[in-house]
Amino acid sequence: MKTDSYHQPVMEKEVIEWVGEARRVVDATLGFGGHTQALLEIGCEVLGVDMDEETLKLTEESIASAKLGDQFRAVNGNFAVLDEIVQKVGFEEVDAILFDLGINSFQLDRSNRGISFKALDEDLDMRLNKSMSVKASDLLAALDKSNLTRLFGEVLAKGLANQLATAIFERKQSQKFVKVGDLVAICNQTFGHWSTKLLPKVFLALRMAVNGEMENLEEGLPKAFGILRKGGRLLVITFHSTEDRVVKQYFAGIVSEGKAINLTGVGLKPTTQEVEANSRSRSARLRVIEKK
């Protein structure tokens, strides 16, 4: 499978600019390797890490076919244990680390994992790593109304989260949530004409919960900062307020402790030209700190 159409890297020029003189870089969210390929082309040595084994294999093949594999290594793993990964493969004294927290287009549109609310006939799975045991359907079946409210409250107003949690809890007493269409139907029933705007948030919240995305981020950021050399840079691209809040708070804390310098203030946004060319970049924000 060709990966060309799936790895439009967001804010590529800005990433290259802020990586600066770095030569040893960790791409903690490799995906289809758009950023990694750009980094390899300017002479960086890159360690790519990704939870999704299927995506990882495709990216390795793509980079090898581009004859850029000599300076590239890939590891199937979770950035929550990034310190253990770099130690295990001997990739230490790191100059820069990149987190691109957006889900790639292949996973969203064609992975057959029920991540997109448009894929009505797909199983409600959402696991980015198939070795994980709990699917989205399992999570909906297991959680009580209070925990469902808490889950959807990560992205919805409290009242809306409670409405949806109540509707899901009542429906699952007689009918399981198995397909994407099952969850879409209850959202349409609950939110009416507002459902179109709220569905992306509902599916985002469930995907984050299934994959432990916020917990991984909270663990991964300190691990990443810890393996940077002095003067090394940590770059994070976020796409929604929940993950951006985690990054913003961590960066603010590490800067206030005098351990890092904030290089990008409130963060950088993509150019108008990039948003026009790639609509999925619209909500992106790049934050960069430098280790003292």
Helices (H) and strands (E) in the chain, counts: 13, 7
Phi, psi dihedral angles at 269 (to 5 degrees): -110, 155
In the chain, beta strands by DSSP E: 24-27, 45-50, 72-76, 94-100, 228-238, 260-262, 285-291
Is the CB of residue 241 less than 8 Å from the CB of residue 14? Answer: no
The answer to whether the annotation marks 34 as part of a ligand binding site is: yes
For residue 21, give the DSSP letter.
T
79 is in an annotated binding site: yes
Strand partners, 98: 27, 235
266, with CB counted inside 10 A (0-12, 13-18, 19+), is: exposed
Pairing of strands 228-238, 260-262: unpaired
Indicate the helix (H) or strand (E) that contains 206.
helix 195-211
- Asked if residue 240 belongs to a known ligand binding site, the reply is no
Residue 70 annotated as binding site: no
Report helix, strand or coil for 17: helix
**According to the annotation, is 50 in a ligand binding site?**
yes
Phi, psi of 270 (to 5 degrees): -65, 155
Dist CA 179 CA 125 (whole Å): 8
Are the C-beta atoms of residues 238 and 101 closer than 8 Å to each other? yes
Locus of tokens 């889950």: 151
- Annotated binding residues, written as ranges, equal 33-35, 50, 79, 100, 107
Binding-site positions for S-adenosyl-L-methionine:
33-35, 50, 79, 100, 107
